[in-house]
Amino acid sequence: MRGLPHLQGEGIWGNQEGIVDRGFERKDIMSKKDRMDGLLKKAATALENGVDPFNHEFLVENEVTADECFTLSEKMAIIIKGFLGADRDDQIMLLSVGAVYDEGPDMVKVFRSSLKVNQATKRLKAMR
């Protein structure tokens, strides 16, 4: 039977034979990067709402495959490590951009520009 296995009671990772047959290729719908960006956004929203993006309900609702689950967790770990490895000014930039992200790309651009100007001004004052 073709279709979405998790809707047929076969489990999100495949049927009894271990074969996932969704009846379509994801690449036909969107690129892998677009798909992962979308999953990262949904995972961030889930975390903001106190929901575990790796729980069964989230994975089924978003049709996350085992490979995508692994990649999602790997990317989230890289993002966290990148934040922790960044200097203070970059961390402030990342936190600030994250805080206004839902306001849209124009707001993010304006906010990032103003932060850069503010940081440059601080550096100039420190050089005096």
Q: Output the pLDDT for position 9.
A: 39
Gap between the terminal Cα atoms of the chain? 73
Confidence of residue 8 (pLDDT cuts 50, 70, 90): very low
> How far, CA to CA in Å, does 125 sit from each of 58, 100, 113, 115?
49, 27, 18, 15
Distance separating alpha carbons of residues 47 and 108, to the nearest angstrom = 20
C-alpha 24: how far from its chain's center? 24
Q: Which pTM does this prediction carry?
A: 0.64
- Give tens-digit pLDDT for 31-78: 889 999 999 999 999 999 999 999 999 999 999 999 999 999 999 999
Q: Which residue has the tokens 């996932």?
A: 20
